[in-house]
Amino acid sequence: MRIGMLVSGGDCPGLNAAIRGAVLRGVDVLGFEMIGFIDGWRGVIEDNWIPLDRRAVRGISPLGGTILGTSRVSPFSDEAGGAEGIKRRMAELELDGLITIGGNGTQTVAMMLSEAGIPVLGLPKTIDNDLDGTDFTFGFDTAVSIATEAIDRLRTTGESHRRCMVLEVMGRDAGWIALHAGMAGGAQVILLPEFPESVEQVCTWVESVRDRGRSPLVVVAEGFRLEGMDSVSTRAGLDGFGRPRLGGIAEVLAPIIEERTGIESRATVLGHVQRGGVPTAFDRVLATRAGIKAADAVQAGEWGTMVSLRGNEMETVPLSDAVDKLKSVPESRYEEVRLLFG
Ligand SMILES: Nc1ncnc2c1ncn2[C@@H]1O[C@H](COP(=O)(O)OP(=O)(O)OP(=O)(O)O)[C@@H](O)[C@H]1O
Ligand SMILES: O=P(O)(O)OC[C@H]1O[C@](O)(CO)[C@@H](O)[C@@H]1O
Ligand SMILES: [Mg+2]
């Protein structure tokens, strides 16, 4: 069996552990030949790849990023030629199948290619944890740890100056990082893309914290909108898929809070710090197991599926289960923590 592997979408901690897991199981145990495309679908288009064997993946589990690189290039661009173009490249390289490592967008593409008759297997990753069909994705635990440390640090400087500190974390459509880091760090207000709040409500919470003699800590996901805002805050430019780059909501909120409450406020945007660096032990284990499971699923011919964590078990689910809808923060999880705000 000859298998190609690629990473698509944003990088995240744990990618290298997943690549290593798939290669050790696939090449050493199951006898596959494996190659890794450089920079996602761009590597397929440009015929740019490296052989993957035990030597290529030596010692990479603790490394952040991905040895293969990644991009948001689509296989459906004119240059790539869609499913037919991918089939041609696979035939040239004598590939029996592909493992696509990525989030919701990547697995949507995997499903489209699978429906076009290409043997594809999905391996889930994303710091946002918004991919359905799996309990957790690797990268999320590391991002939450980094965001929690940021909250702990902002709290001491905020308390010293009696300020309101507003921390913006990633989360385009789902607020999992904000929710978990905010709970771990004891933030007094947590604002998620799924649940708009009014400016009056946010300021009421902030004032109640100040009235108790504490300095308010607000965590906000980049995709959050205040009630009445037409759209989310964006920065100049588009991402590799032509979507607006999100970000800036903390810088919108901090001056509004300061003006309305009289509490001096500061905004911090954590940005890509939460996507880089070494993965936590939890993410390394999850990623390694996901890689191993991907190789086993390939061996079993489970094309059109995605590796999934269910409870403590690695399973596979149809790709459609993963991409039909986004895994948003459910209302029950938000209500549970919202009662503690202020
Ligand atoms: N519906 C779609 N049709 C065609 N191409 C798509 C579609 N959705 C995603 N893609 C392609 O797949 C790429 C990866 O998707 P996306 O950028 O959303 O990353 P992801 O895999 O969801 O990871 P993350 O969002 O966690 O960074 C996109 O940049 C785009 O090129
Ligand atoms: O700067 P980039 O690579 O476009 O990625 C930003 C996006 O990536 C994500 O972290 C997902 O990986 C989103 O939360 C965020 O909007
Ligand atoms: Mg995505």
How far is residue 15's CA from residue 287's CA, in Å, rounded to a whole number?
A: 7
Closest-lying ligand 1 atom to the alpha carbon of residue 107:
21
pLDDT at 229: 82
> φ and ψ at 46, to 5 degrees?
-95, 5
pTM for the full model? Answer: 0.94
Tokens matching residue 18: 């997943």
**What protein residues have CB closer than 5 angstroms to ion ligand 3?**
103-105
* 72 assigned binding-site residue: yes
Measured in Å, residue 196 CA sits from the centre of ligand 2 at 21
pLDDT at 232: 80
How far is residue 157's CA from residue 165's CA, in Å, rounded to a whole number?
A: 9
pLDDT at 339: 95
Domains of the chain, start order: 2-138+279-323 (3.40.50.450), 142-275 (3.40.50.460)
> Would you write out the chain's pLDDT as a tens digit for each of its 342 residues?
999 999 999 999 999 999 999 999 999 999 999 999 999 999 999 999 999 999 999 999 999 999 999 999 999 987 878 999 999 999 999 999 999 999 999 999 999 999 999 999 999 999 999 999 999 999 999 999 999 999 999 999 999 999 999 999 999 999 999 999 999 999 999 999 999 999 999 999 999 999 999 999 999 999 999 998 877 877 767 777 777 777 789 999 999 999 999 999 999 999 999 999 999 999 999 999 999 999 999 999 999 999 999 999 999 999 999 999 999 999 999 999 999 999
pLDDT at 121: 98
Neighbours of 137 (CB within 10 A): 29
How far is residue 189's CA from residue 208's CA, in Å, rounded to a whole number?
A: 11
Residue 128: active-site member? yes
How far is residue 34's CA from residue 295's CA, in Å, rounded to a whole number?
A: 10
**Best of 44, 72, 78 for a ligand 1 pocket test (most atoms within 8 Å of beta carbon):** 72
In this prediction the ipTM stands at 0.96
**Best of 140, 241, 306, 324 for a ligand 1 pocket test (most atoms within 8 Å of beta carbon):** 241
Tokens matching residue 254: 């901090």
> φ and ψ at 202, to 5 degrees?
-60, -45
- Residue with structure tokens 């209302």? 331
Q: pLDDT (tens digit, 9 = 90+) per residue, 49-96?
A: 999 999 999 999 999 999 999 999 999 987 878 999 999 999 999 999
Q: Quick one: how far is CA 36 from the chain centroid?
A: 21
> φ and ψ at 279, to 5 degrees?
-75, 150
